[in-house]
Structure 1
Amino acid sequence: MIGRKLIAVLFGLLVIGMTASAGSAFAEGTATVILVSDNAADKAIAEYLANLTGAIVVTTTWGVYDPNVTAEILSYAPDQVIIIGGPMAVVDEYVTDLEEYNITVYRWWGANRYETDLAVVCNASKLFGIKFNASVVVAGNDSLAIQTALRLAAEKKAMIIYVNQSTNVSKLMEMFQVREMVMVQSKASEKVMEKVEKDLQKCNCRAERVQANVTKEQVEQIMEQVRERLMAVEKIANMTNSTQLREQVREMLQLMEKVNQSLQAGNVSKAYVLALQLQARSEFTLKNAQVEFKMAVKSKEKLKLEIELEKLDAQVEVLEKAGVNVSVLKTIIDKIKEAIEAGNYSVAKVLLKKAKKALHELYREKKSEIAMQGREGHEEKSGRH
């Protein structure tokens, strides 16, 4: 629920965030990466903050650890990383990875996407001195309406506020001293916006409604995201031999077929509602998968070593792409692989420790070259010249 309890929690989060980020955390010239999950609500906030600050956004699958994500972050040689979202969305393994390189990490989050949104708004407003001209309000579980809200917020320099049926909107408007609002809705969130409109009468706020029309292509984009999430779950299911995860994947594949049937019948609105359900269920399944994965890693020494080796491989590749000589590291990696295959786990652990130490030293030594390569790659990816 988002009401009085949220207001109290919000200011608590603000104090925590400000304490962790005290001083000139975002001084001019500091390279910043924002790490966020593929949750539509959190990602939109991350993209908006990046638009305002020039930070680079890196995305991870919700609830999944991917060593390639850490490698991508390292490729930009950041001084600091802001994580948007809690440890269920963006797992703590990333924090561990980054702190090994002495990168400062901040996590801005709340108990859910609504509190996370407001915690980010408060921290960003204070740290960057951002003054918002208005607010764009959108249902926090309406993925496509959120994309429209993001575009409008950028145009109006407005804060994005996520709401649901329990949100006390008039109280939020009073807190942020904002009187002008744009309400973005799709067919899936009309009832939520009706409740918001009634609530606004209490604070004499002005509101404009914007309708986000859902297209077949947009639903297919959501389905592609769900497919990627299911692939991540299946990978963990195979790794852990989990029948529970396989059954959950099977159920979601059945729901995906219903979405496809609705699209083929031309009922895009129905397909979108079903797709939103799939998004939510996929996060629940990823949460279960993460629990299974951590249990498997604890009990299987070989699996743990293989994951560490995969992480090492990905990070060494970052240096190699930047033109750094990594031949010594690759020689050690080959020896680690041989030790794991031979079952010499104690030898593999010693070699891993040696390789990580050498890698961290080489990364610090060549950080400027890595940063230059990372910037060039980001500009090329973004279409800037």
Structure 2
Amino acid sequence: MAMRNKKVLPFILMLTLSLFPESLAADIDMVILVSDNEADSTLAESVANIIGAKGIVKVPWGIYNPDYSAEVLKYVPDRVIIIGGPTAVPIDYEKDFEEMGIPYERLWGKNRYETNLAVIQKLKNEFPEEFSQIETVYITHGRDVLSMLMQKELKQMPSKSIWIFTDKSYEELTLQALDEVIKTARNRPWVEIVITSRFVQLAPIDTITNFLKQRGYTEGAHFTISNVRPAKRFILEALKLVDNKTHIAEKFLDGLDIPRAKRRLSIAKEQIARAWKLYSLGDYQEAYILAVAASRNADFVISISAREWNGIIQGRPEIRLKREVLRLEAKVKVLKELGMDVSTIEAEINELKAILNKPVISPDEYRDILLNKIPQIKKELREAFIEEKRSRRRIPVEHVPGRGEKDRAPRKSGR
């Protein structure tokens, strides 16, 4: 049944949108959920500006935390677009949206380059008018976090700009994505190829420039190749990001016996330590390339550790149920912040916690919680959230809440 729902929800969403005028479909409240992977999150930011998404919620790569699902609920969205595969954005987030009756769609590929193309292809077909207004295309190596950091901070980037990522093994994907954007754009978009390191090179530069020239582009007039010397502060920021990711990987692996993950973690820690040493000596380029390598190793450790922990949780009913309670509490907290009275649901959750904190829990109690109590609370939360969404949609467009209205009496959850 769960698999069927995953297939049906996006279908129902698209069927519903197809019945609306194009402007109404474009005006629905959308939120993008994406991992903090530098490529996917940068792509999500540019896409959000193009399609007018209400917000972006970034989750730690490969890690599920119900607080991030709850963050999405704060927007009371009509639809959630998930960018990235289930390794980057775990499938548990989908379950949270299903349980709250929020349509979602995941756009992804086997790697960041396929994801890049999948997002462009899907959304340019769904939002042709918005994509036709793209003014600038930035092309960079898919792991060159410096290019992304520097472009976003140093330049006044056009609101209608998009990123395309490349690597020597993914030339065809790069050209496909670029072709999709050029064909859709109403006017010829400016193309900027950005390189910040001689190590993280855009191997297919000639292929890309020849492709552009075949489509009438002239270097200097329609596109440029920017060899940017990264400032010290941007390399520092990149090292901090990778250092933090390595610490997360170490915490995830703690308590697990996975030899290959331990080896990769050891390599990542050694690489980031050497990167900091080189940075302190002023060798910023070498420090950066080591950080990029450490990031890939940390990603591997997080991914394999997360899968292992999920298996452990599924095999331990007491841990599984406590995790379910955390998910319920995260949702309740948001509904309270939205001004709803969910005190009855809170009381039910507290009853669950009291049972789970008992020294001994009988098999019958486990079954009752898992098969009856938790599904009932989820149903009540879903109904309360849907009612909140309906009440918000009934508010006239011209109505502007007064300063004191945020302190109004909370609404009942409908029970």
Q: TM-score, normalising length from structure 1?
A: 0.81
Displacement after TM superposition at 1:231 (Å): 4.6
2:355 corresponds, among 336, 339, 348, to: 339
Aligned partner of 1:36 in structure 2 is: 34
Cα 1:18–1:49 shift into 2, 3 Å: farther
- In 2, distance between residues paired with 1:234 and 1:95? 26
1:45 is aligned to 43
**CA shift in 2, pair 1:285/1:143, >3 Å:** same
For these two proteins, the number of residue pairs brought into alignment is 358
C-alpha distance in 2, partners of 1:261/1:370?
54
- Following superposition, the deviation at residue 212 of structure 1 comes to 3.3
Closer, same or farther: CA 44–322 of 1 in aligned 2, 3 Å: same
Deviation, 1:286, is 1.4
Secondary structure of residue in 1 paired with 2:302: helix
| Percent identity of paired positions between Structure 1 and Structure 2 | 25
Once the two structures are TM-superposed, the CA of residue 150 in structure 1 deviates from its matched residue by: 5.5
The offset of 1:46, in angstroms, is: 0.6
| Equivalent residues of 2:139, 2:166 under 8 A apart | yes
TM-superposed deviation, 1:172: 5.7
Larger RCO (CA under 8 A, 6+ residues apart): 1
1:113 is matched with which residue? 112
Q: Which amino acid aligns with 2:140?
A: V
The answer to whether the 8 A contact 2:99-2:378 is kept is no
Counterpart of 2:80, as a letter, is: V
Report the counterpart of residue 213 of structure 1 in structure 2: 229
The 3-state SS of whatever aligns with 2:270 is helix
Q: Structure 1 residue 335: deviation in Å?
A: 1.8
Question: Match for residue 273 of structure 1?
Answer: 289
Tell me which amino acid in the other structure corresponds to 1:142. D
In the aligned structure 2, how far is the partner of 1:185 from the partner of 1:271?
16
Query: Which structure shows the higher helix fraction?
Result: 1
CA contact (8 A) 2:271 2:290 kept: yes
Taking the aligned partners of 1:337 and 1:156, their CA distance within structure 2 comes to 47
Structure 1 SS opposite 2:100: coil
- In structure 1, stretches of 5+ residues that fail to align are 1-16, 377-385
1:365 matched to 2:376? The reply is no
SS in 2 for 1:275: helix
Cα drift, residue 290 of structure 1: 1.8
1:355 aligned residue (355, 360, 377) = 377
Aligned partners of 1:135 and 1:159 also within 8 Å: yes
TM-score (norm 2): 0.76
How far apart, in 2, do the equivalents of 1:363 and 1:326 lie?
Answer: 10
Q: Is the 8 A contact 1:319 1:370 kept in 2?
A: no
Where do residues 17-166 of structure 1 align in structure 2 (5 Å cutoff)?
21=14, 23=18, 24=20, 27-55=25-53, 56-128=55-127, 129=129, 130-131=131-132, 132-148=134-150, 154-155=157-158, 157-166=160-169
Output the CA distance in 2 between the equivalents of 1:335 and 1:238: 32
Take 1:244 and 1:267, find their aligned partners in 2: how far apart are those partners? 31
Residue identity opposite 2:350 in structure 1: D
Q: Does the aligned pair in 2 maintain the 1:183–1:208 contact within 8 Å? A: yes
Partners in 2 of 1:28 and 1:171 — Cα distance? 25
What's the Cα RMSD here? 3.2
